[in-house]
Amino acid sequence: MNRYPIWKYAILGIVLLVGALYTLPNFFGEAPAVQVSSAKAAVQVNEALRQRVEQALAAAGVTPQRVDLEGQSVRVRFDSPDTQLKARDAIQKALVPDANDASYIVALNLVSRSPAWLKALHANPMYLGLDLRGGVHFMLQVDIQAALTRKAEAYVGDLRTALRDKNIRHGGVSREGYNIDVVLRDEATLAAARALLAEQFPDLQASSAPEGAGFRLRASIEPQAARRVQEQALKQNMVTLHNRINELGVAEPVIQQQGLERIVVQLPGVQDTAKAKDILGRTATLEVRMVDESAEARPRKPDGAPCRSVRSAIRSATASPSSSRSRSY
């Protein structure tokens, strides 16, 4: 005699059925593929690029299983690694004639063979790390000294502008290492410059000393502000690495901070180690051009009306690691 109601058996059967359904992607395995993505912001990845990839493969006599436009990249699947390597060379030759000025990134990859109806149900293969799947392990060190130097350079421009706005006359604003030096002619301008630093630049600590007939005011970044710059540089680099890893098509990368200056990156399943190192190690510089809205800074039109002008000071923030070590599995 059945001891349990039928609905309990029905729920158990549904759970087993759903579990078996979402386990299926693990049995299809992965197919060798070539991924083509943009290396420049002005270069678009669209249907025209997909057709160029197909033409390059046809000219090389390579028959792909599928050529798909997926998001910001074109993925070409093959039946064997040998065909994958031959296709990579053909696509690289057609799309990147000059390696020093590449418009596209051509990288080896592995993609799931799961059918489209399983992907529509969000049924994905189980995540496998480096120990089970292999891949690349990177240890990158962030150039903290460069970040502090650029922060000091930004303070030089900001301080020069603030002194001009407050009509504080000085003999020049310069940078020495992480310190900003201001030459002042008398005690009155020295006191005014000190008050300006305390009011508008709380992250700078000031000291002064006589120099010739005047004074030299030295402003240095406080330790707490320097630590904030260091933390911001690490976060900025981690965001940059996330964006660059998207070019490799890695589904579940591991990006973790290690210590105060290092970042660990693990890319399971990545085959092209050299390409991964090239993408992650590229130097990128962010430039922010400040606009001076003061009336005296605006150039005049022929009719005498002021124009909008861009101040020449540029703030730069390095967004790339200075060095790296890698291991392949």
Among candidate residues 72, 71, 65, the one with its CA nearest the CA of residue 112: 65
The mean predicted confidence, pLDDT, of the chain is 79
Task: Report d(CA 86, CA 100) in Å as an integer.
Answer: 22
What pLDDT band is residue 78 in, cutting at 50, 70 and 90? very high
Which residues lie across from 278 on neighbouring strands? none
CB 129 within 8 A of CB 268: yes
- The whole-number average pLDDT for the span 28-48 is 85
Report pLDDT for 233: 87
Overall average pLDDT of the 315-322 stretch: 40
CB atoms within 10 A of CB 200: 13
Q: Is the pLDDT of residue 325 over 60?
A: no
The tokens describing 252, both together, are: 């579940």
User: What 3-state DSSP class applies to 209?
Assistant: strand
Residue 321 is predicted with a pLDDT of 45
Of the candidates 162, 157, 170, the one whose C-alpha atom is nearest the C-alpha of residue 311 is 157
Higher pLDDT: 105 or 162? It is 162
Of residues 209 and 308, more confidence is placed in 209
The number of residues in the chain equals 329
- Count Cβ atoms below 10 Å from residue 97 Cβ, excluding itself: 10
Measured CA to CA, the distance from residue 159 to residue 221 in angstroms comes to 13
The single-letter DSSP state of residue 125 is P
Residue type, 42: A
As a whole number of angstroms, the distance between CA 214 and CA 260 comes to 41
Please check the confidence at residue 93 and state whether its pLDDT lies above 70.
Answer: yes
Provide the pLDDT confidence category of residue 248 given band limits of 50, 70 and 90: low
Q: Phi and psi at residue 309, in whole multiples of 5°?
A: -125, 160
Across the beta sheet with 173-176, the strand order is 173-176, 179-184, 214-221, 204-211
Tell me: pLDDT of 297 over 60. Answer: no
Pairwise CA distance, residues 160 & 166, whole Å: 10
In whole angstroms, give the CA distance from residue 254 to residue 256.
Answer: 6
Predicted confidence band of residue 319 (pLDDT cuts 50, 70, 90): very low
Instruction: Give the chain's domains with CATH numbers.
Output: 6-126 (3.30.70.260), 134-329 (no CATH)
Residue pLDDT, tens place only, 136-166? 778 888 888 888 888 888 888 888 899 888 8
| pLDDT for the residue numbered 10 | 93
Nearest of 234, 225, 236, 142 to residue 178 by alpha carbon: 225
Rounded distance between C-alpha atoms, residue 2 and residue 230, angstroms? 67
> What is the per-residue pLDDT for 315?
35
283 pLDDT higher than 60: no
What is the Cβ-side half-sphere exposure of residue 101, based on CA atoms within 13 angstroms? 2
| pLDDT recorded at residue 306 | 44
267: burial class by Cβ within 10 Å (0-12, 13-18, 19+)?
Answer: buried
pLDDT per position as a tens digit, 257-280: 888 888 888 887 766 666 676 667
